[in-house]
Structure 1
Amino acid sequence: MNRARAVLVFVRASLGVLVGLSFTPKAEAYETGRSEYGARLHFPSLPARVRLATPMPGVSDGGRGALRRAMATWSGVVCGSLGGSFVEANAGEDASIEVRVVISGWRHGAAIAAHTDVESDKWTGEIRRVEIELDATRRWSDVERVPADALDLETVLLHELGHAAGLAHSGQTTVVMRAGLKPGHAARRALDPDDVAGMCAVYAAPASIRKDEPSVRTDPGGSFVSAPRAFAFSAAIGAIGAGIFGWRRRRNARALKRSDPGSTPADA
């Protein structure tokens, strides 16, 4: 195999690597919520105060324990200046997040068991008030082993508090901020690195990012483009250039051989 053919084989292999890398899923697929004008949703200061406005029927302590545990889980996230996301509001104290159990007149459709409404400044994305609603006509559970016809209350509250803090749904399937939870589904009461990265992106990066401005991505786990991936991309680009150069030399050699059959190509 002559040098030009070897270069072409290397180019093909490098292009295969390049295509494979382009379809490799990102390590973190979180989404951050946006206001009407594209600003990142966020509380101007933390911790945010939370109140359970109405108890959940059929659940021990009305769901207060599940809410406290969900708040403590998010408050365990530490990155940059973030530390302590939620605290329980005292009696008579104003709460920026209220959790309400809807006994009748559920307005979000049969497929939705919980809904979070975030009121924010459309220009800055600063969250002013949040209302989390839970459908009381569903069966809710607060035990370790979730019954087949019930939803785990702590899992749902952990998810909805993520929305309250400014997170949208994640594309990952094993995280707290994924969309959808069916009755009997195993509880998800611990945060995935994807969930943590999303919270850190909201509170460790500039908040007022408009749709027409470049977004800023905060990745506590390291650079978005890893060293091996950067090397592979560089090698592929270099290989393409080398392949083009080799192809031109080979074409010129063939043209020379046709014009002078007695000559020998330099790269034979």
Structure 2
Amino acid sequence: MNRLAGRVALVTGGLRGIGHAVVRRFLAEGAAVMVADLSTPEAAAGTLATMAGDVGYVELDVGDEDQWIAAVAAIAARFGRLDILIANAGVGGSGPVRTTSLRDWHAILRVNLDGVFLGTRCCADMLADAGRSLPGGAAIVNMSSIMGLVGLPQVAPYNASKGGVRLFTKSTALEFAAAGTPIRVNSVHPGFVETPLLMESSDADAIAFYTGATPMGRLARPEEIAAAVAFLASDDASYMTGSELVVDGGYTAR
């Protein structure tokens, strides 16, 4: 398929996990992609060299407004336009509320929620300009989680951040639609995915729990989430905005 031919996408957290799978799927679908992550360009060069297609890289801490401004300028200089923003960068964390420090709380929300806000605000003008020439408009896809829909003990900051992404998505979708701004905004809510973020932070018992709690009886592959993201970014989803697309193996169906 070549649904994204001629379009330029920015994917945050694009060097690992779901973000990396999204980058590869978008390149396969014909898009040019600016990958954003925390690594230096030199450290990222090896990973980028394995990707076939028009791909660039920008170092970006998504919680830093100045770095977002610089990233947008880099996209304008390299590609001259921006059609798709994938706000994927995220961090995890666990522990009882009573022992969670305010610093740790802020650290999770800074990346998972502030990063989505800053990306939307800083990229909106470029996206709107590109969206005027696209049948379905430009697209923002925000990475939430099933933990933005249902609770889980001892991950309150993560739950709060991903729930915030869900409603921020709906609010901005309505705001853009009401103003006639040609940007669609949707969120994706993965279940338990076999990513470095999950596997490095979970022991064997936790992985067994996640697998057993999922009706389909397995973890998702990053490529399965990337497929959903590609759909929302394409004109196949031209009548979707403010939607939440759940890809969780049936977890929230119970």
TM-score after normalising by structure 2: 0.28
**Higher relative contact order by CA 8 Å / sep ≥ 6: 1 or 2?**
1
TM-score after normalising by structure 1: 0.27
User: Which has a greater percent of helix?
Assistant: 2
